[in-house]
Amino acid sequence: MPDLIPALNLAASELTLAIGALALLMVGAFIGEKSARLVSGLSVLLLLVATGLAVTGPLGTAFNGAFVADPLAVFAKALIYLSAAVCVVLGDGWMARTRIAKFEYPILIVLAAVGMAMMASSGDLISLYVGVELHSLALYVLAAFHRDNLKASEAGLKYFVLGALSSGLLLYGASLIYGFTGSMNYDAIAAYAGENPGVGLVFGLVFLICGLAFKVSAAPFHMWTPDVYEGAPTPVVALFATAPKVAAMVLTARVLTDGFAQSHDQWAQVLILISLISFAVGAFGGLVQKDIQRLLAYSSIANIGYALLGITAGTQAGVQAMLLFMTLYVVDQLGFFAVLLSLSRGGRPIRSISDLAGLSREKPMTAVALTILSLSVLGMPPLSGFWAKWAVFGAAADAGYWMAGAAGLVASVVAAFYYLRIIKLMWFDAPASDVAPDASPIEARTVAWLSAAFAFPLVIFALAWIEPLTRTAASGFGAG
């Protein structure tokens, strides 16, 4: 029992969320659908409390090394919890306006956050799989949350089936690694891999990487992404584009740079190939899209390719660059989706890119915010997206992967077309409909403007404290 108390203290944020989610489920069950707004508010409060517990809690390892609380986990959890809280706020109003509000929505996000936190604190292959499955099960339900919508049901089914396939790859890779090393713990695996490198272990690692690549929607494991982004409710897609990607990227960095540091030459080749394919699929696939959310799906595929370049470097600077990229990327994505959630015509959400035509005449401030966010995701200096790409390209070049960085730069130029097309439609084309846009909801409008302000000019000042935080979080990972 004395050993259990310190272990539970390390996992205080996860325990708080898990127990809180069960309590909120009871509140919703007793009060009914009228409790949707109350449960949403309490869920946001719960996530903020969990953030505080994660940031102020002790550091160490627990449960025989299966759970790790270190600076990397703390940084990732804070970003995951805050992103999830924003998605709850954005979804609460949108669900009410579209008449599909249910108290289960915020609870599922809280449960997903528990799984994502487990992924960030994973210390062995068992906790890795538990975290991945816990967050995935909640996301499967969220993808099909709008049950009366055919596309939403299709999105949930596709995500579930392909998710099961990726889980199979993940489990097969983990079983191979365990079979050759005799251990599930990353440190023990690293020690064995350093002394006994072999083809079997590399095969297990490749399967493990393929399973993780699905979770971050990296090509060629991206097949679920466009359909799920198109069919799922917009606030759910905002969640998919942010917190789960942070958790999966941190988990990938932890597994590879902690458990397989001695096999860097082998897994770096796999990651470079995945990055290059992601660049091509994301950049060229987005050129022909007409649905905004499908366009953002292809954009996310390309951006994950950029983030993987940081991990590919295999250095502390590379892990830091990945964390910086994901932090700035999350803010941009939350702002982009907040703009979409703030726009509708005649009660109908705006989904087609052509619906943005003439937005500058109807909602000039929203058009300004979307312009800033588009230029930021594009990587235009000195906006936040520029510093994010600068970091990962620099880390890749310093590690000798400058050709992969150059390919990413070319992909950014290609992707510029669809972002510039959005800007051109907003500022130079006539409105697409005679129906004036509806009044923008305050919560979505606030998130959009704050994100745009962060993208520029606040990012110039914010980097002064984000960079040291990412450096501290990345300490201890990579070769130097």
Q: Where are the domains of the chain?
A: 265-480
- The closest alpha carbon to 456, from 390, 392, 385, 389, belongs to 385
245: closest CA among 386, 410, 112, 444? 112
Helices and strands per DSSP (H, E), number in the chain:
21, 4
How many residues in the chain?
480
- Look at residue 257 in the predicted model and tell me its pLDDT: 85
pLDDT at 146: 82
CA 309 to chain centre: 16
Q: In terms of Cα–Cα distance, which of 185, 187, 191, 189 is closest to 66?
A: 185
Residue type, 175: S
In order along its 480 residues, the chain shows pLDDT tens digits of 557 888 888 999 999 999 999 999 999 988 887 888 899 999 999 999 999 999 998 999 888 888 999 999 999 999 999 999 999 999 888 887 777 878 889 999 999 999 999 999 998 999 999 999 999 999 999 988 887 778 888 888 888 988 888 899 999 999 999 998 888 888 888 888 777 777 778 888 889 999 999 888 898 888 889 989 988 888 999 999 999 999 999 999 999 888 888 788 888 888 999 999 999 999 999 888 888 989 999 999 999 999 999 999 888 999 999 999 999 999 999 999 999 988 887 777 788 888 888 888 888 898 999 999 999 998 888 999 999 999 999 999 988 888 888 998 899 889 889 899 999 999 988 876 655 566 678 888 899 999 999 999 999 999 999 999 999 999 877 544
Is the distance from CB of 336 to CB of 369 less than 8 angstroms?
Answer: no
The C-alpha R_g of the chain, in whole angstroms, comes to 21
Q: What is the pLDDT of residue 479?
A: 47
- Evaluated on CA atoms 374, 379, 382, 384, the torsion sign reads positive
Q: Which two three-digit tokens encode residue 117? A: 């936190």
